[in-house]
Amino acid sequence: MPSNDPFDILARSIYRDTKELAVRYARVPGIHIMVVQDRCIGCGKCVREGFCRFGSISIVEKKAVVNARRCRGCMRCTHLCPKGAFIIELRPPQAVNDTLRAIDNQIDRRLRELDGKV
């Protein structure tokens, strides 16, 4: 049974909204994830633990590789890799800023809705 604890409600909402945002913003424009080959030790943790929810990471010749066509630019891998092998490249910055602003507005709207429910 779901808890009525405000933090649990927020966590469930953020999880649901994150999935909604991923569908709405099918690809974050301007964000390209790259692998720093010197940092990647080929441990495969990124694939085994599902860092990428879109299946864009694979291991080729004992190194992580990002499939740019599948990558949505969510940046999840950049936070989860223990060696910091995934980095963000922004091209062009204005497109990224516009998209991040739109995502922030959606999150703010949802948090305001939750404030009325909690």
pLDDT tens profile 99-114: 788 888 998 988 888 8
Rounded CA separation 50/44 (Å): 10
Amino acid identity for residue 65 in this structure = V
Could you tell me the residue range of the domain that residue 83 belongs to? Answer: 33-90
Tokens 């599948």 belong to residue:
70
| Whether the predicted model's global pTM rises above the 0.95 cut | no
Domain shared by 107 and 68, yes or no: no
The percentage of residues in the chain with a pLDDT greater than 70, rounded to a whole number, is 81
Domain shared by 14 and 50, yes or no: no
pLDDT over 80 (residue 2): no
pLDDT tens profile 35-86: 999 999 999 999 999 899 889 999 999 999 999 988 988 889 999 999 999 9
Two structure tokens written together for 46: 């990124």
Listing DSSP states for 90-104 in one string gives ESSHHHHHHHHHHHH
Domain shared by 59 and 86, yes or no: yes
The domain tally of the chain equals 2
Domain shared by 72 and 110, yes or no: no
pLDDT over 80 (residue 98): yes
Task: Provide the 10 A C-beta neighbour count for residue 86.
Answer: 24
